[in-house]
Amino acid sequence: MASQDREASSELESFRQQWISDLQSRAHEAEASSSTSAAAPAATSRPRKHTGPLSPTIAKKSLPAVEDDEYYLHGPSFDAMPPPSASGHLLSDTPGKHDEKPLVSALDHYEKAMEKEAQGNMGESLRLYRQAYRLDHRVDMSYREKHFPAGFAPAKATASSSSSGAAATAPAAPAAAHKPAAPSAAEEEPQPLTLEELIASFSGLKIEAAPPIIENTPPPPCPIASLPDELLVHILKDVAVADVGDFARLSLVCKRFAYLVATEQRIWRRVCLGTEFGFTSMPRHWQKTVEWEELEAQEEADEDGLLISMRELEESRLADALSFTASLHDTDVYSSWKNMFRTRPRIRFNGCYISTVNYIRTGQATNQAVWGGDPYLIVTYYRYLRFFRDGTVISLLTTASPADVVHHLTPELLKLHREAPHAHLPSAMMHQALKGRWRQSSALDYPDNTDPKEQESDLYVETEGVGAKYMYRMDLSLRSAGKGTRNNKIIWRSFCSYNKLTDDWAEFQLKNDKPFFFSRVKSYGVGESVV
């Protein structure tokens, strides 16, 4: 009897606790609904802070679209000149040690991790990501709110005003039916001009002088505004020959310069046919040996059977290159000289081509591992190719990041580290650099192909091997990545090793190798030849 009383009392107590919890939950729901309805008018003018998880729609609008090669698409520009040799750095200092600011907050670690990921350093990027999420598990939301605030405001306003807007839509519908239809946006706003029409509208404009510095005073002189077009074109041509990049940036000065840069075909013709940046500086035949020595002087027979020297052969090849370039100025191939310079395959000498490779390998097993498995390591290494106008090239395979390498990728430092090891110098990685030669394909390599763009898109690079008896052969192709830039990508076709003693070829598997992407380096200038 006593046991039955205890069971009945326990059941009664559990029922009482459940009843009280139900009453409390209903009271909380009533308070939440009343507070929501009271705050609804203010929510339209001041959206509440978004505290929930980011929806896929918001994330899709906030983050930019990423294509296949987006991480390698935009090669970094190393415009900062390298520090002088007598800068007073200590031997224990790492490159860039004093330039980086300390990482304090989770957002600092997250931004640095994204920077390392864009550079291809996945191991360091993963470490920084982990540290950022340890400091703040919602650091990705903080990053998006900082860099993409426009993607959050419309979504917040829509979510906060949905409850109040639903009630106001029904009574306003009959009143809206009596209003006249608003004119469409296409009828009110004029259509924008195309790029060709916009450039053509600048044809009648003149160079305007700067306004006076002080009111009611004469304006400063502007001698270039009074120059005739003949002299102005001659000056712009000299600028293009010195640096075609500076010539293109002149279009940002004024509308008159923009018109001349875009339409003056005489300047672009001089650039295409010149040896400074033009296509005649692209070697279609081997100019040097792999060790950068001069080729053996051999006499060849011309069409009439007469022997010609190497000098006469080079002059003949230069004349053929000029005539072939002039013949490509056709509406079917290249519509203008400017279009030819931008789209025709060519090597760029004011920078280097960098290939960033990441792969995963299994680490060494240990008995102290708490996860019960072998560790996995993310390995990052880089391939560098710097081309020179005389047909020589420097090839380097290293784990050093581009910021620590590109300014040391010079023939002088390569020679310095070959004579004696200098491990204490910042350019110690140049001890592993290889000499080589390169040439671009021509119609002679593909006589059956009639497309000039496909005939000239291939690239052949031969470098030194691991020993004196080996040589490496890289067959590459020029491509373009992105919408604005051209000839900024080099893809692999094959990679072989040649044994000079046995005359055997061995092909490497291109399992982990990635394309090369161009990065401009200001210290290279316009890319001089190896002396």
| Domain extent listing, the chain | 70-81+102-160, 223-343, 351-363+375-524
Strand 516-520 with 504-507, pairing: unpaired
Average pLDDT over residues 408-426: 90
Give the Cα separation of 365 and 502 in Å (integer): 41
Q: Looking at the predicted structure, is the pLDDT value of residue 72 above 50?
A: no
Burial of 434 (0-12, 13-18, 19+ CB in 10 A): middle
The sign of the CA dihedral 184, 189, 190, 194 is: negative
Q: Looking at the predicted structure, is the pLDDT value of residue 374 above 80?
A: no
SS3 state at 435: strand
Residue 344 is classified by DSSP as S
pLDDT of residue 372: 56
- For the chain, what is the radius of gyration of the CA atoms? 34
Residue 334 is classified by DSSP as B
For the ranges 27-36, 115-124, 207-216, the lowest mean pLDDT is seen at 27-36
Average pLDDT over residues 273-287: 89
**Residues in CB range of 133: below 8 A, 6 or more apart:** 106, 139
pLDDT of residue 250: 95
Strand partners, 474: 461, 495
pLDDT category at 523 given cuts 50, 70, 90 is confident
For the ranges 17-31, 61-75, 284-298, the lowest mean pLDDT is seen at 61-75
For the ranges 14-18, 71-75, 236-240, the lowest mean pLDDT is seen at 71-75
In total, the chain counts a number of residues equal to: 531
pLDDT category at 41 given cuts 50, 70, 90 is very low
Q: Looking at the predicted structure, is the pLDDT value of residue 80 above 80?
A: no
Give the Cα separation of 54 and 149 in Å (integer): 13
Q: Are 259 and 205 in contact (CB under 8 A)?
A: yes
pLDDT of residue 255: 93
89-104: pLDDT as tens digits: 444 444 444 456 788 8
Dmax (CA) for the chain in angstroms is 130
pLDDT of residue 234: 95
Average pLDDT over residues 395-400: 95
- Strand extents, DSSP E, 307-402: 307-308, 351-362, 376-387, 392-398
Give the Cα separation of 176 and 320 in Å (integer): 75
To which H or E segment does residue 236 belong?
Answer: helix 229-242
Q: Looking at the predicted structure, is the pLDDT value of residue 235 above 70?
A: yes
457-486: pLDDT as tens digits: 999 999 999 889 999 999 999 999 887 788
Q: Are 91 and 110 in contact (CB under 8 A)?
A: no
- For the stretch 22-28, contacts whose Cβ atoms lie closer than 8 Å and that sit 24 or more positions apart, written own/partner, are none
**Residues in CB range of 159: below 8 A, 6 or more apart:** 47, 50
SS3 state at 459: strand
**Residues in CB range of 364: below 8 A, 6 or more apart:** 374, 375
282-336: pLDDT as tens digits: 999 999 999 999 887 665 655 666 677 777 888 888 888 888 898 888 777 898 9
- Centre a 10 Å sphere on the Cβ of residue 508 and count the other Cβ atoms it contains: 13
224-234: pLDDT as tens digits: 999 998 999 99
Mean model confidence pLDDT for the chain: 78
Average pLDDT over residues 376-383: 88
Which amino acid, 372?
A: G
For the ranges 205-214, 263-272, 397-406, 432-441, the lowest mean pLDDT is seen at 205-214
Which amino acid, 300?
A: E
Query: Tokens 């990049």 sit at which residue?
Result: 245
Q: Looking at the predicted structure, is the pLDDT value of residue 200 above 70?
A: yes
Q: Looking at the predicted structure, is the pLDDT value of residue 223 above 50?
A: yes
To which H or E segment does residue 125 belong?
Answer: helix 122-135
Strand partners, 461: 438, 474
Q: Looking at the predicted structure, is the pLDDT value of residue 4 above 90?
A: no
Average pLDDT over residues 506-525: 90
Q: Are 232 and 224 in contact (CB under 8 A)?
A: yes
Q: Looking at the predicted structure, is the pLDDT value of residue 65 above 80?
A: no
Q: Looking at the predicted structure, is the pLDDT value of residue 429 above 80?
A: yes
Give the Cα separation of 275 and 272 in Å (integer): 8
Give the Cα separation of 436 and 176 in Å (integer): 76
pLDDT of residue 54: 37
Average pLDDT over residues 163-189: 49
SS3 state at 313: helix
Give the Cα separation of 285 and 295 in Å (integer): 11
Average pLDDT over residues 380-389: 94
Q: Looking at the predicted structure, is the pLDDT value of residue 169 above 90?
A: no
- For the stretch 248-252, contacts whose Cβ atoms lie closer than 8 Å and that sit 24 or more positions apart, written own/partner, are none
Q: Are 438 and 460 in contact (CB under 8 A)?
A: yes
- Centre a 10 Å sphere on the Cβ of residue 179 and count the other Cβ atoms it contains: 7
Give the Cα separation of 499 and 471 in Å (integer): 7
Burial of 50 (0-12, 13-18, 19+ CB in 10 A): middle
- Centre a 10 Å sphere on the Cβ of residue 319 and count the other Cβ atoms it contains: 11
SS3 state at 68: coil
SS3 state at 282: coil
Q: Are 379 and 390 in contact (CB under 8 A)?
A: no
pTM of the model: 0.70
Q: Between vectors from CA 27 to CA 24 and to CA 29, what angle results, nearest 5°?
A: 110
Q: Which pair of structure tokens corresponds to residue 513? A: 């190798």
pLDDT of residue 58: 32
Strand partners, 521: 78
Give the Cα separation of 98 and 106 in Å (integer): 21
